[in-house]
């Protein structure tokens, strides 16, 4: 089943298939020349509509959801307590375990439902209509949450009271919000990257020639996409945690308004977008192809040996000498589909272990907020406000990587592979939890509450949490952004939404683990929870790198092979201008 490779100056589809990588190289021109440096191109204007839309959506999501832990865990405050911040903001008084379990349920649902959005986008509606429809569903959830969190009365001392619908209204609203955000989450980042021209081309800057590489442009775009997410998160969390001091409904009304603005911005760019039409049921087709391959493997494995390095059984979905006409008729996919599916499965193989990384990350949305409530803070700071350290750090360091570190590595022709980046992120995430365990131990050693902290904070400063947030934020640059880029650049066009959805399943898995661990999320054992998470992350880091470092080697070999196949390209001034105009 081996294909003959010929160096013809182009990279034909057979070479692409054997090399198991989707290379964006025009067939009539060779742009990836080893003698020319590769740079990122200009981000198209249409992509900025989606980036700004995501800024507003993440403002709403992170700003509103950050207050969930206090809303569920703590009792309501009197007017005096609200004014002096004597006690944490609260409403429903369900305790830390219940609040953590519901927080993890929300995250699980929000990261599981992207499979629904991806299926709808790929099979029926396309990305634009899917995002718009699920945004409306999303908006309904915010309206329910906002209205159900309004107190139905006040006691004589100013303590608000809530009716019987407050708690079920919260559960219903986060279920709808989770469906809405999940429905758009797997679609919005691929649609944003769809606006990038898919072919490499040559430009001149200051008398020097460069290759504009689509993969580097996508990396550049995703860095700014992630930067916008964290700017939105930073502002949303700061404002909403301030509003919750006076009333939770105010902390949910603002996200509702911001999300309405998000819908308007996204809709206003509709005539500028590159619209990639749906290509049918990828999931069903993938299932049929895998089943067909496994059946044929049992039949032909004695006479035909596969050549592929990864998921080689899919080679049996190709044409095989001596196959019957019935077998040919059963193939309902294109010749390229098994190779595309192999590439998708290869990309997805990294996701199960990433679940442990996201267990570390998810502690920020629940247990680290509760930890901050046990520590001494300035009078202006609520326990959940410290959480803004994560987006703040990201806003500061992402431009450093985008404009400094990554361009330097590219100029020096240093291949900083995705697996290496994700492994570094894995390690930093585990280190963050190790620091959290040390801080929790110090809390238990401090008066007045020691290992059973009460309403009065123990004598240890909340600033001890900063190292945990610095480590987890830095880890996101490597693990989160790295896996996002890997998902898009290694996904065939027909499967970009699907693989984007699958890349979010580790977050769902982490939340599911959190649900099972939530009964243990209480004093005096929290330091053991953090320590156990750190140990699991450390072990997983080593296993991850040993298992997947070969993917970086394969990517490097493929890039070198593509460069070797490049031929000199002489573009006219008009052709260069036309290429730049496309951006």
- Chain segment 518-546, per-residue pLDDT in tens: 888 889 999 999 999 999 999 999 999 99
Q: 468 pLDDT band (50/70/90 cuts)?
A: very high
How many C-beta atoms surround the C-beta of residue 378 within 10 A? 10
Q: 321 pLDDT band (50/70/90 cuts)?
A: confident
One domain, residues 308 and 347 = no
Average predicted confidence (pLDDT) for the chain: 85
pLDDT (0 to 100) of residue 472: 95
For the stretch 174-215, pLDDT in tens is: 999 999 999 998 899 889 989 998 888 888 877 788 888 888
* Closest by Cα among 332, 553, 363 to 475: 363
Q: Which two tokens stand for residue 540?
A: 């997983």
6 found inside a domain: no
SS3 state of residue 480 = helix
Q: 20 pLDDT band (50/70/90 cuts)?
A: very low
Q: Domain holding 389: CATH number?
A: 1.20.1250.20
More confident residue, 411 or 439: 439
85 found inside a domain: yes
43 found inside a domain: no
- Whether residue 263 contacts residue 58, with contact meaning beta carbons closer than 8 Å, is answered with no
What distance in Å separates the CA atoms of residue 167 and residue 92, rounded to the nearest whole number? 7
What distance in Å separates the CA atoms of residue 215 and residue 63, rounded to the nearest whole number? 32
One domain, residues 333 and 363 = no
More confident residue, 495 or 184: 184
* Closest by Cα among 63, 519, 465 to 251: 63
Residue 301 in this model has a pLDDT that exceeds 90: no
One domain, residues 393 and 473 = yes
pLDDT (0 to 100) of residue 558: 77
Q: 85 pLDDT band (50/70/90 cuts)?
A: low
Q: 570 pLDDT band (50/70/90 cuts)?
A: very low
One domain, residues 257 and 119 = yes
311 found inside a domain: yes
Region of 158 (left: φ > 0; alpha: ψ -120 to 50; beta: rest) is left
32 found inside a domain: no
pLDDT (0 to 100) of residue 380: 83
What distance in Å separates the CA atoms of residue 502 and residue 480, rounded to the nearest whole number? 14
One domain, residues 292 and 359 = no
pLDDT (0 to 100) of residue 437: 97
More confident residue, 85 or 470: 470
pLDDT (0 to 100) of residue 35: 60
Q: Which two tokens stand for residue 479?
A: 């693990």
pTM for the whole structure: 0.76
What would the DSSP string read from start to end of 509-554? HHHHHHHHHGGG-STT-HHHHHHHHHHHHHHHHHHHHHHHHHHHHH
One domain, residues 267 and 327 = no
One domain, residues 306 and 441 = no
More confident residue, 43 or 200: 43
The count of structural domains within the chain is 2
Position of tokens 């595309």?
Answer: 340
pLDDT (0 to 100) of residue 562: 63
- Whether residue 264 contacts residue 257, with contact meaning beta carbons closer than 8 Å, is answered with no
One domain, residues 240 and 303 = no
Final residue belonging to a domain, choices 314, 338, 362: 338
14 found inside a domain: no
Residue 581 in this model has a pLDDT that exceeds 90: no
One domain, residues 329 and 237 = no
pLDDT-wise least confident of 27-41, 197-211, 464-478: 27-41
37 found inside a domain: no
Q: What is the mean pLDDT of residues 278-296?
A: 85
One domain, residues 466 and 328 = no
One domain, residues 188 and 90 = yes
> Any long-range contacts for 12-19 (C-beta under 8 Å, 24+ apart)?
13/336, 15/561, 15/565, 16/339, 17/336, 17/339, 18/307, 18/308, 19/558, 19/561
199 found inside a domain: yes
Q: Which residues contact 456 (CB under 8 A, 6 or more apart)?
A: 448, 449
Q: 281 pLDDT band (50/70/90 cuts)?
A: low
* Structural domain for 307, as ranges: 282-338
Final residue belonging to a domain, choices 321, 338, 355: 338
One domain, residues 333 and 229 = no
Final residue belonging to a domain, choices 300, 320, 338: 338
């Amino acid at each position: 089943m081996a294909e003959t490779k010929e160096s013809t100056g182009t990279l034909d589809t057979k070479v692409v298939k054997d090399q198991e990588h989707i290379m964006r190289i025009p067939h009539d021109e060779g742009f990836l020349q080893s003698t020319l440096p590769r740079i990122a191109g200009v981000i198209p204007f249409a992509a900025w509509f989606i980036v700004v839309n995501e800024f507003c959506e993440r403002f709403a999501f992170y700003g509103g959801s950050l207050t969930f832990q206090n809303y569920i865990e703590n009792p309501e405050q009197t007017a005096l307590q609200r004014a002096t911040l004597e006690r944490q903001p609260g409403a429903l008084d369900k305790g830390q375990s219940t609040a953590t379990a519901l927080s993890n349920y929300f995250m699980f649902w929000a990261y599981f439902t992207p499979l629904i959005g991806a299926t709808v986008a790929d099979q029926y509606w396309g990305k634009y209509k899917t995002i718009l429809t699920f945004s409306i569903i999303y908006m309904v959830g915010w309206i329910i949450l906002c209205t159900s969190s309004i107190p139905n009365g006040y006691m004589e001392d100013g303590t608000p009271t809530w009716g019987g619908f407050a708690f079920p209204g919260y559960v219903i609203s986060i279920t709808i919000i989770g469906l809405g955000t999940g429905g758009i989450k797997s679609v919005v980042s691929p649609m944003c990257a769809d606006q990038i021209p898919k072919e490499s081309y040559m430009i001149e800057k200051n008398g020097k020639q460069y290759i504009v590489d689509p993969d580097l442009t996508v990396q550049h775009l995703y860095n700014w996409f992630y930067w916008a997410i964290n700017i939105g998160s930073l502002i949303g969390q700061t404002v909403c945690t301030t509003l919750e001091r006076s009333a939770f409904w105010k902390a949910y009304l603002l996200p509702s308004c911001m999300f309405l603005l998000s819908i308007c911005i996204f809709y206003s760019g509709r005539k500028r977008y590159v619209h990639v039409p749906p290509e049918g049921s990828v999931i069903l087709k993938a299932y049929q192809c895998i089943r067909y391959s496994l059946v044929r493997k049992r039949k032909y494995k004695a006479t035909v040996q596969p050549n592929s390095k990864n998921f080689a059984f899919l080679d049996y979905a190709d044409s095989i000498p001596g196959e019957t006409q019935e077998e040919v008729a059963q193939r309902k996919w294109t010749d390229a589909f098994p190779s595309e599916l192999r590439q998708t499965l290869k990309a997805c193989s990294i996701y199960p272990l990433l679940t442990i990384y996201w267990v570390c990350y998810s502690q920020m949305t629940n247990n680290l907020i509760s930890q901050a409530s046990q520590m001494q803070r300035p009078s202006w700071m609520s326990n959940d406000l410290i959480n803004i350290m994560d987006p703040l750090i990201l806003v500061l360091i992402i431009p450093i990587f985008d404009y400094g570190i990554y361009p330097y590595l590219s100029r020096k022709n240093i291949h900083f592979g995705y697996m290496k980046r994700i492994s570094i992120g894995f390690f930093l995430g585990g280190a963050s939890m190790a620091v959290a365990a040390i801080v929790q131990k110090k809390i238990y050693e401090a008066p007045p509450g020691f290992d059973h902290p009460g309403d009065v904070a123990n004598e240890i400063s909340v600033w001890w949490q900063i190292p945990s947030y610095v480590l987890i934020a830095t880890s996101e640059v490597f693990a989160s952004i790295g896996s996002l880029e890997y998902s898009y650049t290694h996904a065939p066009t027909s499967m970009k939404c699907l693989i984007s959805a699958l890349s979010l399943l580790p977050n769902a898995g982490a939340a599911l683990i959190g649900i099972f661990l939530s009964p243990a999320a209480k004093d005096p054992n929290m330091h053991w929870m953090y320590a156990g998470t750190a140990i699991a992350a450390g072990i997983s880091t080593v296993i991850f790198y040993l298992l997947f470092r070969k993917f970086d080697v394969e990517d490097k070999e493929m890039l070198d092979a593509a460069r070797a196949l490049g031929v000199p390209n002489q573009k006219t001034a008009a052709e260069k201008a036309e290429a730049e105009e496309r951006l």
